Amino acid sequence: MRCDSHVHIVGPADRFPQVAERTYLADVATLKQLERVSASRAIRRFVIVQPSFYGTDNSMLLEGLDALAGRGRGVAVINPETTSARTLSAMASQGVRGLRLNLYSPLRETAPLAARFEAVEGHARDLSWHIEVIAPIKLLSENASLLRNSRVTVVIDHYGLYAGIRPDQPEGVSLLELLRRPHIWIKLSAPYRVSGDPLATRADPAWAEAILKVAADRCVWGSDWPHTPPHEQHMGGAVPSPYRNLRYETLVDDFMAATGSAELAERILAGNPARLYGFE
């Protein structure tokens, strides 16, 4: 069964408040809407990732997992100092399989990646979860030894946010070397976040080829639905910013074409996420 390994679900702001320090007001984006747009490409499994504007309140994510009834997995954001083992265990029973560290969005925490990684690594290890890192390629390169020596699985978001860097440059070489490690995975998601085109539906061919060459069995695909707006279009916490106007079908089709192989595309869409997220 095909899986979209990176989506966000957004509820009404009166029921699911967004953090006060948000940089825009995210509009409602429901699971029903997602299932409607993905149906034509036979995608029925979803990994719901906690967005920055919900902070550590994972209520919307957990409600989505309950609604998916086994077809969903979650990547949560927690405060490692205050989240109890009981809460984490309950989240695991609902389908959470990872913890996210965000060093990319305007709401990212200012603590260094190493400190934040070490704070959640024990929780992830106890639960056999992964740690998902969204960070620009320069930060990934600077923290390569930390990620290389991780005692848990690491998932790198959005092609490693390589924008402006070629695979043969030092930071590119560093990322590709990381991807040779058997515990490090990468999401082939949100090509518009690594492009000068805010509506791009394909990653740079050189990068796609380089990543697939070293880590084809540890790649998963994600749409990044509902395609949150570029940071420079955020107009403040009281102002809704429109989502990017992208066709879900185009993202799927362009990704599959870019792999150059129907068998490989299906492996990334179905087999790989089943292993990473523990789908039956």
**Structure confidence by residue, pLDDT tens digits, 134-171:** 999 999 999 999 999 999 999 999 999 999 999 999 99
**Is residue 160 left, alpha or beta, with left meaning phi > 0 and alpha meaning psi from -120 to 50?**
left
Which residue is it, tokens 């925490």?
109
Ordered by start, the domain boundaries in the chain are 2-277
Cβ atoms of 229 and 241 closer than 8 Å? yes
- Between CA 104 and CA 68 the distance in angstroms is 28
Residue 104: per-residue pLDDT: 87
Residue whose C-alpha is closest to residue 28's, from 20, 18, 36, 40 = 18
The mean pLDDT value of the chain amounts to 94
Name the packing angle between helices 248-259 and 31-38 (round to 10°): 50
Residue whose C-alpha is closest to residue 7's, from 248, 276, 183, 212 = 248
Q: Which residues contact 106 (CB under 8 A, 6 or more apart)?
A: 23, 52, 231, 234
Question: 3-state DSSP call for residue 132?
Answer: strand
The topology (CATH level 3) of 2-277 is TIM Barrel (3.20.20)
- Between CA 145 and CA 161 the distance in angstroms is 18
pLDDT band at 220 (very low <50, low <70, confident <90, very high): very high
Lowest mean pLDDT among 21-30, 208-217, 243-252, 266-275: 21-30
Both structure tokens of 180: 């040779």
Q: Is the pLDDT of residue 236 over 90?
A: no
Cβ atoms of 138 and 164 closer than 8 Å? no
Lowest mean pLDDT among 14-23, 31-40, 61-70, 247-256: 14-23
- Between CA 105 and CA 52 the distance in angstroms is 7
